[in-house]
Structure formats: structure tokens, C-alpha cells
Amino acid sequence: MRYAWIEANIDSYSVTMMCDLLSVSRSGLHDARRRGPSARALEEAQIVTRIRRAQLKHRGRYGRRRMTTELVEDFGRPVNHKRIGRIMRTHDLASRKRRRFRVVTTDSKHAHPVAPNVLGRDFAATAPNQKWLADLTYVPTDEGWLYLALVLDLFGRKIVGWAMSDTMPQELTAAALWVALGGAIRSPA
């Protein structure tokens, strides 16, 4: 590694100074030049090439553990996971973390009129069906997002109406209110 650094910086600094600073002999440097790259260095170059290929194939999502399994299958022999991790760090081939997709259900920057706050943060009800609260949420499923509108009675904290859809139409909350009022369950248009 020291000899490689000296070779990389040979135009910037004198060989004698670099050898003195890195505590290597000039004869050792010249001997390393004569020997050429070691078998380990050649194998490491092969590993880097295969890691880059696998990173492209898996869109940079594979880390050290999964990459080791991939390379063991590729090489047909065991490769140490610590070595793979070191090589990935050295060559800046770390995996990219996938950000979780967030569904945005609230748009506060609109020009539409805002409904008045009728409850005034008073969420206590003294009898059933005095105060209802509506909310919209989303649930991730294997088939995609499921949007759920709920109507909650604040007295007993019980759900009195609900509606679901795979899209988020404006009528979803109205459909939940319709169920709360005693209407039949119908899908939003």
C-alpha cells in the first residue's frame, strides 16, 4: 500500500523524501516495481470489477453481507465478508439506503376556503353522537397503498363510519360520513 502511494505521488514529491516519511527503503520500492502487482492485488481488482457490476445490477442496494453471497456464487469459492467490506469502503462502493416512500395526504398551501374550527380543541363529549371527528390515513399493503377514511364518535372513542379505497378521491371522507349516518357502504366514485 505504501509503495502504491509513492507511485501515485511520484510527480509531486521526491522518492527519497516519501520513502523516509513512510519508513520504507528505496531498494524495497525498486524491488516492488520489478515484481509488479501481486496476485492479491490482481484478485482485488477482479473483486472490485465484480462488485461494481453487481452494484449496477442491484441498483446500489447491496451491502457487504449480500455482496459477499453474490461474489461467492460468482467466484465459486469462499470470499471473506470482512475483505469485501474493506474493499467496498476503500473504493466508495457502499450501499445506498432506500428511503421509504411517504404518501402526502395534506396540502396546506391551497387557495380553497378553510373550514372553521368548530370544536375549538374541546374533544370532550358528554353524550354519544354530539361530536364526531373525521380523519384520513393510509396503510401500506403488498398490493400498494390503501386509503382509509374514518369517522370517530368522541364520546365513546368508537368508529362509527369508515370507507376504503385504493386511490384518494375527495369523496372518500364523505363516504365514511354516509356510513356513519346509517347509509349502506358504497364505494367512492
Q: Which of 90, 108, 134 is the last residue of a domain?
A: 90
Residue at which a domain ends, from 90, 118, 143: 90
Is 134 contained in some domain?
yes
Whether the pLDDT of residue 183 is over 80: the answer is no
Give the end of a domain, one of 71, 90, 109.
90
Can you give the pLDDT at residue 100?
Answer: 76
The answer to whether residues 105 and 175 belong to one domain is yes
Chain-centroid distance, C-alpha 138: 19
- Express each pLDDT in 32-67 by its tens digit: 778 877 777 778 888 899 889 888 888 888 888 888
Same domain for 73 and 124?
no
Which range marks the domain in which residue 130 is found?
100-189
Q: Which pLDDT value is given to residue 1?
A: 67
Task: Indicate the pairing of strand 158-165 with strand 132-141.
Answer: unpaired
- Residue 103's identity, in one-letter code, is V
Q: Please report whether residue 137 resides in a domain.
A: yes
Residue 165 sits in a domain whose CATH number is: 3.30.160
Give the count of domains, the chain.
2
Give Cα separations from 34 to 11, 30, 44 (angstroms): 19, 6, 20
**Domain co-membership, 65 together with 129:** no
Tell me if 135 is assigned to some domain.
yes
pTM: 0.43
pLDDT tens track for 81-140: 999 889 888 888 888 777 777 777 677 888 888 888 888 888 888 999 889 988 888 888
Average pLDDT estimate for 75-80: 86
Q: Kindly state the cell numbers that stand for 60.
A: 446500489
- My answer on whether 35 and 67 are in the same domain is yes
Is a pLDDT exceeding 90 seen at residue 162? yes
